[in-house]
Amino acid sequence: MVVTADIFQWYKSKLKEFLKITSIAQVLFGIPVASVHSERLFSKAGLIYGNKLRNRLSATHAEEMLIVKANLSEVLLAPPTETAKEEYAEEDVRSDEE
């Protein structure tokens, strides 16, 4: 067997036939080639655990804090909801009236 095909194309063509294997392959092939993200995560963990004032911090709470810190930039960059758009519009009207 000569392998000349693109492996991503092969999995894409076999998606319905091998649904579970394809989803596992997406996870495995989706591993980032750089370690920057994990290094940032370790740095943030060091900031959480390295703080002497947090000596009674449970592992679960520390993990939750780390998840929030790791994803905060994505949340802040998310597009505003319809409610937020309405609130912004109301604030603009109020500031124009002043």
Same domain, 44 and 82: yes
Same domain, 56 and 68: yes
Token readout for 8 is 């991503």
- Count up the domains in the chain and report the number: 2
pTM across the whole model: 0.40
Domain hosting 19: range is 1-31
Confidence at 31, pLDDT banded by 50, 70, 90: low
Q: 32-73, pLDDT tens digit by residue? A: 667 787 888 888 888 888 877 777 888 888 888 888 887 787
Please state the rounded mean pLDDT for residues 76-84: 72
Question: With the C-alpha atoms ordered 66, 70, 76, 80, is the resulting torsion angle positive or negative?
Answer: negative
Report CA-CA distances (Å) from 86 to 89, 91, 93.
5, 9, 11
